[in-house]
Chain A
Amino acid sequence: MTAQTQAGVAPILLIEDEPSVTAFLRAALERHGYAVANASSGAEGLKMLSGGNYSGVISDIRMPGAVNGAEVHAWIQKNRPELCARIILISGDTANSETQAFLAQSGTPCIEKPFRVQRLLEIVEKTFGKP
């Protein structure tokens, strides 16, 4: 993982199981000056979180495997509270009532797939600041 780049700024951790979405996110963020590290599952994301330093986390909510976005969020709350306000969730399924309840309760910003680049950068800047 080439995480520590560009004047020592900690990268944004991207947790997304869908490679095409990961590719797009990575391209969009890097082209706009953000450093990005990615994990392809929730479990891998948690592993990276416990071992490294990240400026923020962008995570898909619905992911296969044992750890989904809500659990990633819960883990951060417990183990990395300083990152609590620096999470952006991505959802392809906001119609899901569980997702809705989780988002309403946590107040975490969420981007609904599919989204425009402008929308993504707007929320990223608002949450993590400019690169």
Chain B
Amino acid sequence: MELAVDAAQSRHLPGFLERFAERAARMLSAEWCAVMVFRGRETDSYQTSNDKARPDAAQHTALVLFARELAKDIEARPLDASGSVGEVGKGKVAVFVPITASDAESLGAICLVSGKKAPGEADQRLLRALASHAALSLENFRRFSQLERSKRQWVEDIDAISDYIVVHDRSWRVVRTNRSLASHLGVPPVALVGEAMSSLRQIAETGSDLPCPFCRDTKQSREEYVVASPERIFLVSTSRTPGVSDDDTRTIHVLKDITDRREAERRYRELFDSIQEGLFFATPDGRFLDVNDAMVRMLGYDARDELLRADVGPHLYPAAAARERFLQALAERGVLRNYEETLRRKDGTLLHTLQNITAVRDSRGNIAQIRGLMLDVTEQKTFQSQLQRERDFNQKILNTTQSMILVLDTAGLISYANRRCFEAGYREDELIGHRLVDWVETSHRNDFEAALETTAHGQQVENLELRVRRSDASMGHFSISLSPMRDEQNTVNSVVVVMTDITDAALLQAKLAHSEKMATIGRLVSGVAHEVNNPLAAILGFTDLLLENPQVPDNAREDLQIILRETQRTKDIVQDLLSFARQRPVQRELVQVNSVLRQTIKLRSYDFASHGVEVVEEFDERLSPALGDSQQLQQVFLNILNNAYDAVQESGQRGHIAIRTRLRGESIEVAVTDNGTGIADPERIFDPFYTTKQAGKGTGLGLSICYGIVRAHGGEILCWNNSEQRGSTFVVRVPVANDASVAAALAKEAGR
């Protein structure tokens, strides 16, 4: 027992173990004893001081080796039995007992050499007790030295910490400081022990009224705050450990110099806030942890705090689905580059953004934080959509215009054609890449080439009227405008050609001019006829009176008859003229055009048959009736038939007259085609007094009268020379009687 106490109190291990060996030897009446302590591979041996019994070096080594191999409790070994042990002495026995720690670690062994043979039962017990004491002592000693070491180490560690550490007691006296703090103040650490905490005010101050410059609230067991001196910024971490007594209460301040970190943080913040892109840190459930000023501005919030309080999902996303899609994409890919998202500003307007997002995952792989950078692309988006709209608009114009629009390169090759071109029947493969000039009528090609040349020099050419081949190979009358298109360098790099087929318009204009001419002639004729009628009435009247007079001699009477006949002829001419000019409202009745035609043909059938003129009727029997005057219409048809008859008679060939009726839109069309001599001047055929017949065969008013009649019926009369065969075609079109026109005619009839 005393050994254990000795061991616990002893600080000097070798002395203690030597004393222990002496005592053990004495207690067990051994000649020599050693306490062998294993220290890694080394073995320290603490022996009795009896020099006579001490084994020599070789023997000692053998004993140590044996002790290291020792596994059993106690083993007695005759020394002579071990050759290696050598000559300790004949009849001597070495007894080993291991020293084992409480955790079964082998700490060492006790070795006793005596003259006895093997130790008895009592000795063995004693030996075990000694080994146990030794083990306890060694363990205690180790623990103690470890404690010593760690304490020393701790102080060294504390001193090695660059942060300032100061511990004070309740009476605001310094208990300890570390070296950093002392060297900051330029004194050895111990110099500060016992000093008042207030002496450390020069380092920094929290601004409290307490005597310690680093304490704020003594009731808190932990505090952390930042204090600043003019030069440095410290993060002060304070812990208070209440002791058993008041004196034991310790307050530990650790002052971390965060001046540099603060600076870095300040720079980072400055960058964070000054950057024009929106930056944010957010949680996956939709809370902003931090946002920069640009982000606040972009989203239209008044202050950062307001945005930080906002719930990202419902506040920023116009549709919940978009948020879901975003989270889904982020979960799958972890990083989103140039992710386009439309967000809602605080005022409800939309914000188009381009985002770069990184997901920060926790150890289990779940998204813990979302970090992102956001660009406001609303303007670009608006611009883009404006551009798109404009493009669409232009496209629509190009595609819906009734003009063909083509773009030619400087070589005159077609590089673009709008939809109208294809609607007009041209194929893409016969336009694109081909020369437009090839479509122009040969005789007009020079004009077109010249215009192209002019345009290539930057001049616009407008309303060039050319004949151009249509997709169906027919020639059309086109109005063509050419405009130069320039590149950025203002060089003409292509020509825009706008082509409009004005064939119909030209035709219409010609018709209009013709009807205007006819109206003018009509007014003139009407005036002349009226003026002629007065003197004619007097001539005719007095001639009659003279003829009644019995005193007039016979030879004068014969002359008077001539005057009378010629006056009658003049009267007929004037009547015809008036019929042409007559705006006489036609009789309004339902007229079956086919039957009127048949009656008309019947009138001339004898002549046709006897002169071998073949008349072919191609009548549409489902023809609706027209509204008009059958007498007048018959007059028109008869006139045309007579002309046809005369024309085929003149040609000297077998005559052929085809009469066709059909419905054409809202009109009934009668076409009379002959294979006669044709018309010398179709433009003038309806003019009064225009005749190709011999003098006396016609007044030249027949077709003029027809013209007047057809016009009065609201129809039109046309004629042309046939393109494929000899002869000419006359076409009469009169409107179909519809309910409205019939009703109007009936009303007029009733009002008469």
Binding site for B on A (CB under 8 A): 18, 20-21, 23-25, 27-28, 31, 62, 92-97, 100, 104, 113-118, 120
Whole-angstrom distance between the Cβ of B514 and the nearest chain A Cβ: 21
Is B536 in contact with chain A by the CB < 8 A criterion? Answer: yes
* Given the contacts A20-B535, A92-B530, A92-B533, A97 and B583 also touching, CB distance less than 8 Å: yes
Offer 11 A-B interface pairs, CB within 8 angstroms, sorted by A: A27-B542, A92-B533, A93-B529, A93-B578, A95-B581, A95-B583, A97-B583, A113-B534, A114-B540, A116-B541, A117-B545
Q: For the complex, what is the distance from the CA of A60 to the CA of B533, rounded to whole Å?
A: 12
Whole-angstrom distance between the Cβ of B213 and the nearest chain A Cβ: 122
**Which residue of B533, B536, B541 is within 8 Å of A117 (Cβ)?**
B541
**Is there an interface contact between B530 and A93, defined as CB atoms closer than 8 Å?**
yes
Interface residues of B in 535-578 (CB under 8 A from A): 535-542, 544-545, 548, 567, 571, 578
**Is there an interface contact between B584 and A116, defined as CB atoms closer than 8 Å?**
no
* Given the contacts A28-B545, A117-B544, A97 and B585 also touching, CB distance less than 8 Å: yes
**Is there an interface contact between A114 and B582, defined as CB atoms closer than 8 Å?**
no
**Is there an interface contact between B752 and A95, defined as CB atoms closer than 8 Å?**
no
**Which residue of A25, A28, A95 is within 8 Å of B578 (Cβ)?**
A95
Whole-angstrom distance between the Cβ of A93 and the nearest chain B Cβ: 5
| Residue in A closest to B571 when the chains form the complex, CB atoms | A114
Is B177 in contact with chain A by the CB < 8 A criterion? Answer: no
Cβ contacts under 8 Å, B533 to chain A = 92-93, 113-114
* Given the contacts A95-B579, A95-B584, A104-B752, A114 and B541 also touching, CB distance less than 8 Å: yes
Cβ contacts under 8 Å, B594 to chain A = none
Interface residues of B, count at CB 8 A: 26
Q: For the complex, what is the distance from the CA of A95 to the CA of B527, rounded to whole Å?
A: 11
Whole-angstrom distance between the Cβ of A74 and the nearest chain B Cβ: 19
**Is there an interface contact between A114 and B567, defined as CB atoms closer than 8 Å?**
yes
Cβ contacts under 8 Å, B541 to chain A = 21, 24-25, 27-28, 114-117, 120
Q: For the complex, what is the distance from the CA of A104 to the CA of B585, rounded to whole Å?
A: 12
Cβ contacts under 8 Å, A24 to chain B = 537-538, 541-542, 545
Is B526 in contact with chain A by the CB < 8 A criterion? Answer: yes
Cβ contacts under 8 Å, A18 to chain B = 534, 538
**Is there an interface contact between B584 and A118, defined as CB atoms closer than 8 Å?**
no
**Is there an interface contact between B538 and A23, defined as CB atoms closer than 8 Å?**
yes
Interface residues of B in 580-606 (CB under 8 A from A): 581-585
Q: For the complex, what is the distance from the CA of A31 to the CA of B752, rounded to whole Å?
A: 39
**Is there an interface contact between B538 and A117, defined as CB atoms closer than 8 Å?**
no
| Residue in B closest to A97 when the chains form the complex, CB atoms | B583
**Is there an interface contact between A21 and B538, defined as CB atoms closer than 8 Å?**
yes
**Which residue of A20, A27, A100, A115 is within 8 Å of B584 (Cβ)?**
A100
Cβ contacts under 8 Å, A97 to chain B = 583-585
| Residue in A closest to B570 when the chains form the complex, CB atoms | A114
| Residue in A closest to B547 when the chains form the complex, CB atoms | A117
**Is there an interface contact between A113 and B584, defined as CB atoms closer than 8 Å?**
no
**Is there an interface contact between B530 and A62, defined as CB atoms closer than 8 Å?**
yes
| Residue in B closest to A23 when the chains form the complex, CB atoms | B538
Whole-angstrom distance between the Cβ of B59 and the nearest chain A Cβ: 166
| Residue in B closest to A93 when the chains form the complex, CB atoms | B530
| Residue in A closest to B585 when the chains form the complex, CB atoms | A97
Cβ contacts under 8 Å, A120 to chain B = 541
Cβ contacts under 8 Å, B544 to chain A = 28, 116-118
Cβ contacts under 8 Å, B534 to chain A = 18, 20-21, 92, 113
**Which residue of A94, A96, A115 is within 8 Å of B540 (Cβ)?**
A115
**Is there an interface contact between B536 and A31, defined as CB atoms closer than 8 Å?**
no
| Residue in A closest to B581 when the chains form the complex, CB atoms | A95
Cβ contacts under 8 Å, A92 to chain B = 530, 533-534, 537
Cβ contacts under 8 Å, B540 to chain A = 114-116
Q: For the complex, what is the distance from the CA of A94 to the CA of B575, rounded to whole Å?
A: 10
**Is there an interface contact between A27 and B545, defined as CB atoms closer than 8 Å?**
yes
Cβ contacts under 8 Å, B530 to chain A = 62, 92-93
Q: For the complex, what is the distance from the CA of A94 to the CA of B582, rounded to whole Å?
A: 9
Cβ contacts under 8 Å, A100 to chain B = 584-585
Please give 12 more A-B residue pairs, beta carbons under 8 A apart, in addition to A21-B537, A97-B585, A113-B534. Answer: A20-B537, A21-B541, A24-B537, A24-B538, A24-B541, A92-B530, A92-B533, A93-B533, A113-B537, A114-B571, A115-B541, A116-B541
In this complex, the member of B544, B548, B579 whose beta carbon has the largest number of chain A beta carbons within 10 angstroms is B544
Whole-angstrom distance between the Cβ of B542 and the nearest chain A Cβ: 6
Q: For the complex, what is the distance from the CA of A118 to the CA of B544, rounded to whole Å?
A: 8
Q: For the complex, what is the distance from the CA of A97 to the CA of B530, rounded to whole Å?
A: 14
Q: For the complex, what is the distance from the CA of A114 to the CA of B578, rounded to whole Å?
A: 13
Whole-angstrom distance between the Cβ of A94 and the nearest chain B Cβ: 8
Whole-angstrom distance between the Cβ of A61 and the nearest chain B Cβ: 11
**Is there an interface contact between B545 and A114, defined as CB atoms closer than 8 Å?**
no
